[in-house]
């Protein structure tokens, strides 16, 4: 699900990179370059999450965090070049929900943003649905069951996780890297061909004709998507 995200980062190159990765996730991203603008934009836009650099001009990022926390419970992810434990604990004590030390992987940043958004939505009562229906494919995440046109399908844990990731946003094209982040997490050295292997196994189990899939589609040069109806055939 998309979110409104405010990025406060004065390094233009870094801010552009963060924006690109977060927008690839379907989020609406706004960028500001100083702490004063961050406070103004947070108050006017009311974002779902803030990515906040500590070393900001005009108003320090830690002061921004402290001020915002008295006004809102918006999730805050701190970006800091300070690596001492005292600096990290200070940010958390001021109300930050998580932090990343520079340099960091953009993939790790997007994974942490997703985790914070999930945590925030669950706290707000926006629980994710237990039963997902995408065309003829039905997943019961509570019971770990899958049916295709009423036919039960037995999946491994990882196959189920890949299918669930796609089913939560039907029709959206996921790159292999995005599937890896959602299924395996950013701490695993999983290769993209692992995703291809899981997709191949899913097609054998879900599709009437795995060579011409109608549910789990390949979008050439981009990745995979789960169709919510009879889609074009591809392999």
100, 112 contact by CB (below 8 A): yes
Q: How does residue 216 score in pLDDT terms, banded at 50, 70 and 90?
A: very high
Q: Provide mean pLDDT across the span 17-26.
A: 91
* Residue 169 pLDDT: 87
* Residue 113 pLDDT: 92
Residue 15 phi, psi (nearest 5) = -65, -40
Q: 75: closest CA among 124, 26, 31, 32? A: 124
* Residue 123 pLDDT: 63
- Position 54 pLDDT exceeds 80: yes
- Position 233 pLDDT exceeds 50: no
Distance separating alpha carbons of residues 191 and 180, to the nearest angstrom: 8
Q: Provide mean pLDDT across the span 113-123.
A: 81
174, 224 contact by CB (below 8 A): yes
Q: Which residues lie below 8 Å from residue 35, measured CB to CB, with a gap of 6+?
A: 8, 56, 57, 58, 59, 60, 61, 63, 64
Q: Which residues lie below 8 Å from residue 90, measured CB to CB, with a gap of 6+?
A: 62
Model pLDDT for residues 84-106, shown as the tens digit of each residue: 666 667 778 888 888 888 888 88
CA angle (109, 52, 44) in 5-degree steps: 120
Distance separating alpha carbons of residues 179 and 163, to the nearest angstrom: 10
Percent of the chain with pLDDT over 90: 51
* Residue 234 pLDDT: 39
Percent of the chain with pLDDT over 70: 88
Query: Is the pTM above the cut of 0.85?
Result: no
* Residue 185 pLDDT: 65
Average model confidence (pLDDT) across the chain: 86
- Position 231 pLDDT exceeds 60: no
* Residue 178 pLDDT: 83
**More confident of the two residues 130 and 133:** 133
Model pLDDT for residues 131-190, shown as the tens digit of each residue: 899 999 999 988 889 999 999 999 888 899 899 999 988 888 888 888 887 787 654 567
Per-position DSSP letters for 151-196, written without gaps between them: EEE---HHHHHHHHHHHTSTT--B-HHHHHHHHH-TTS---HHHHH
Residue with token string 């930050």: 96
- Calculate the CA dihedral of residues 128, 133, 139, 141 and round it to 10 degrees: 10
- Position 203 pLDDT exceeds 80: yes
Helix/strand/coil percentages in the chain, nearest 5: 40, 20, 40
- Position 63 pLDDT exceeds 90: yes
């Amino acid at each position: 699900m998309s979110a409104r995200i405010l990025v406060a980062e004065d390094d233009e190159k870094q801010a552009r990179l963060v924006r690109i990765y977060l927008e690839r996730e379907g989020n609406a991203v706004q960028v500001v370059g100083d702490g004063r603008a961050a406070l103004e934009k947070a108050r006017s836009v009311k974002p779902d999450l803030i990515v906040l650099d500590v070393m900001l001009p005009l108003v320090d990022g830690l002061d921004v965090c402290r001020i915002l926390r008295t006004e809102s419970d918006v999730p805050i992810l701190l970006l800091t070049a300070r690596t001492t434990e005292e600096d990290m604990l200070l940010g958390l004590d001021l109300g930050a929900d998580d932090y990343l030390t520079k340099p960091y992987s953009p993939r790790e940043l997007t994974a942490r943003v997703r985790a914070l958004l999930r945590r925030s939505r669950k706290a707000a009562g926006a629980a994710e649905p237990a039963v997902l229906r995408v065309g003829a494919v039905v997943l019961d995440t509570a019971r770990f069951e899958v049916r295709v046109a009423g036919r039960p399908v037995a999946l491994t844990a990882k196959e189920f996780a890949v299918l669930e990731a796609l089913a939560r946003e039907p029709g959206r094209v996921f790159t292999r890297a995005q599937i890896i982040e959602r299924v395996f997490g950013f701490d695993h050295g999983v290769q993209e061909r692992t995703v291809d292997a899981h997709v191949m196994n899913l097609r054998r189990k879900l599709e009437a004709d795995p060579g011409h899939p109608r549910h789990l589609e390949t979008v050439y040069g981009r990745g995979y998507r789960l169709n919510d109806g009879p889609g074009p055939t591809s392999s």
